[in-house]
Structure 1
Amino acid sequence: MSSPKLHEHAAGAVRLTGFAHGGGCACKIPPGELEDAVRGLTGQPGADVLVGLDSGDDAAAVRVADGLAVLSTADFFTPVVDDAFDWGRIAAANALSDIYAMGGRPIMAINLVGWPRDVLPMELMTEVLRGGLSIASEAGCPVIGGHSIDDPEPKYGMAVTGLAHPDQLLRNDAATAGLPLTLTKPIGVGLLNNRHKQTGEVFAEAIATMTGLNRDAATAAVAAGARAATDVTGFGLLGHLYKMCRASGVGAVIDVAAVPVVDGARQALRDGYVSGGTRRNLDWVRPQLRFAPGVSGDDLLLLADAQTSGGLLVVGELPGYPVIGHTTAVPGIEIR
């Protein structure tokens, strides 16, 4: 690892992103490799297992009583921004999102930390944890303990437990054809995070997007009677849409002009701040794509951009959120 001095601002503040090989959810194991690794682990027995590994959903769900399911998930990643408090906030919002993506309510979280204690001050780790606690408190979710290890690369996230009604779960294998597709946050934060890592520029709108809870969107989806949803994170909009379509046996049409994009992301794309994770996402999903002549390579890269703490992709229309396309009975994803 390089000397810590190589990862400082001109003013001397530590640049956390300089200690990470990748940033946020862009450092996920590529989807194809991950599926190969866990393929033999699917099909866990038990009549009370409502959602397991089989469909690659956002969280596990187990029925514990009539009308009550327990949800469980874990999510952590390397620094996505240099500000320790903001990194903690983003990582917590991202972990909580898995519960919201299932239509649930988080009730408890524990911290997961890897920290290079001989390189980075412990006071900085405290700031990360304080950021995570602030977002969990906003969600009404107590943070009770956790686990930490001495790690050459800093990592932070949470394991979260939630509750949901078994009949109101939002699943990625429950999409049906002929319904609108709604996206509840703009995409493009992966491009801005990569630019931030390389230049130190700070993008307030990207941070606001990543620290925003998906709670209200999840509540709206359940109230609207939606049955299928997922959150858009490291595999990009196209990757997560493809996983949902494949699990449900449907296809989709995306109107690229209707997809909301965070300010500055298109310029970052034009300037070449595309992560390796984004390119791997596009390579993985490209065989499933059909697109009109006017759809550019940059459009595809943006749709595949590896998000961190992205929004919910809901099958159904939610008041106040943009509709970006619809599901179809034809397999694959058409982009117009």
Structure 2
Amino acid sequence: MKSIINRIKSGFNPNDYGLPADFLLTRLTQMKGCGCKVPRAGRITCANVLSDLYAMGVVNCDNMLILLGVPKDISDKERDVVTTNFFDGFKDTAVEAGTAIRGGQTVRCPWLLLGGVATSVCSANEMAVVDEARPGDVLLLTKPLGGQVAVNSYEWLKMGNSRVKELNLNEARIVSAYQQVLEQMCRLNRNAARMALKYGTHASTDVTGFGILGHADNLAKAQKAEVQFVIHTLPIIDYMAEISKAMGNGFNLFSGTSAETSGGLLIAVEKEKAEHLRTELEQLDGFPVWLVGDVVSGLRGAVIAEDVKIVSVASRIHLI
């Protein structure tokens, strides 16, 4: 919802560009650190930036900018490798999304920062409704959870962290989960945006840094009606629930606040349309979509059901 408010206050006047009065400017910026291989980092960053557009049902991005912070303490050779691979990955995903990169900014800083800007000019009917969830709707999630657990546990393996032995972790299962996370972080939410428009969904957001509960709560509080989102199912990448449980709800995975990067869309839709949307999106993307919650009457906000169901999602990716 903040993105919509920013768009309205941007000072954009469609008449200045010969466009109809109902055209709107949407510009979104993302910037964050990196925790994976550089070639994938470019792809993930681009997908993450675009995801904010897709969360509003905006399928087409008109322009992108690259933002890159290069660490001061790396050599010139390392810098060239990092920047080249990052740019290549970002560009490849931009092309996949049907858009183009027309500029950006690179600076030196103490650590690696990756980001971008996505801009779209579209009419109101090219955007999904995001604030009309109503009692009786159901909640769909387009990517499984557990990304933070997978990336961190994989880092433990690489760094020889003592937690691997202390928790008696299975290295092969960690690698498998990490492979799955890399795939889904690179995968665009563009088809999900298409489905939001096609099926007239009532609300949607992407699940990223605040976790599924945090983003569901923000979305519920932005609705016109007094509704509560009840999360009754958490689809979690295989073995990540076991790691979290061994740590005593490590990374707050079971609380619904474990961070995701380039996560899926959380969509509120009429119950009668939900199965058709799920089926069509699964056919387009080749990956499952989960029914994870209900919209009920109540104080605006989101909760995890006391009897929440944990669904283990097997990795379908076998190569890094």
With normalisation by structure 2, the TM-score equals: 0.74
- Of all paired residues, the percent bearing the same amino acid is 28
| Residue of structure 1 equivalent to 2:43 | 89
1:225-304 paired onto structure 2 within 5 Å: 225-248=200-223, 249-256=226-233, 259-272=234-247, 278-279=251-252, 299-300=254-255, 303-304=256-257
In structure 1, which of residues 204, 209, 225 is the aligned counterpart of residue 179 of structure 2? 204
| Residue of structure 1 equivalent to 2:31 | 76
> Which residue identity does 2:143 align to in structure 1?
K
- Of 245-254 and 169-178, more deviation after overlay is shown by 169-178
In structure 2, which of residues 41, 65, 86 is the aligned counterpart of residue 128 of structure 1? 86
| Residue of structure 1 equivalent to 2:263 | 310
- Of 167-176 and 139-148, more deviation after overlay is shown by 167-176
Distance 1:107 1:322, change over 3 A: same
**Cα distance, 1:60 vs structure 2:** 7.9
**Cα distance, 1:162 vs structure 2:** 1.7
Distance 1:63 1:198, change over 3 A: farther
Structure 1 residue runs of 5 or longer lacking an equivalent are 1-41, 43-49, 280-297
Distance 1:145 1:118 in 2: 25
In structure 1, which of residues 167, 192, 205 is the aligned counterpart of residue 150 of structure 2? 192
In structure 1, which of residues 100, 107, 111 is the aligned counterpart of residue 54 of structure 2? 100
Contact 1:63 1:166 in 2 (8 A): no
Distance 1:61 1:231, change over 3 A: farther
**Cα distance, 1:172 vs structure 2:** 4.2
| Residue of structure 2 equivalent to 1:111 | 66
Distance 1:163 1:194 in 2: 38
Deviation digits for residues 31-71 of structure 1, max 9, x if unmatched? xxxxxxxxxxx8xxxxxxx92159xx9x9896733443221
**Cα distance, 1:260 vs structure 2:** 2.1
In structure 1, which of residues 145, 157, 174 is the aligned counterpart of residue 132 of structure 2? 174
Deviation digits for residues 120-174 of structure 1, max 9, x if unmatched? 5222221111111111111111011100111111001110112433135335433
> Which residue identity does 2:86 align to in structure 1?
V
With normalisation by structure 1, the TM-score equals: 0.71
> Which residue identity does 2:290 align to in structure 1?
P
Distance 1:63 1:219 in 2: 26
Distance 1:164 1:190, change over 3 A: farther
Distance 1:273 1:163 in 2: 46
Aligned residues: 260
Which secondary structure does the structure 2 equivalent of 1:199 belong to?
A: helix
| Residue of structure 1 equivalent to 2:141 | 183
In structure 1, which of residues 127, 145, 148 is the aligned counterpart of residue 103 of structure 2? 145
Distance 1:60 1:239, change over 3 A: farther
Residue 295 (structure 2) pairs with residue 327 (structure 1): yes
Distance 1:84 1:274, change over 3 A: farther
In structure 1, which of residues 129, 148, 159 is the aligned counterpart of residue 117 of structure 2? 159
Contact 1:106 1:141 in 2 (8 A): yes
**Cα distance, 1:106 vs structure 2:** 1.2
**Cα distance, 1:273 vs structure 2:** 9.6
Contact 2:139 2:292 in 1 (8 A): yes
> Which residue identity does 1:319 align to in structure 2?
R
Distance 2:71 2:115 in 1: 15
Contact 1:114 1:151 in 2 (8 A): yes
1:20-31 paired onto structure 2 within 5 Å: none
> Which residue identity does 1:92 align to in structure 2?
C
Distance 1:186 1:96, change over 3 A: same
Which secondary structure does the structure 2 equivalent of 1:233 belong to?
A: coil
Distance 1:60 1:274, change over 3 A: farther
**What's the Cα RMSD here?**
2.7
Distance 1:267 1:140, change over 3 A: same
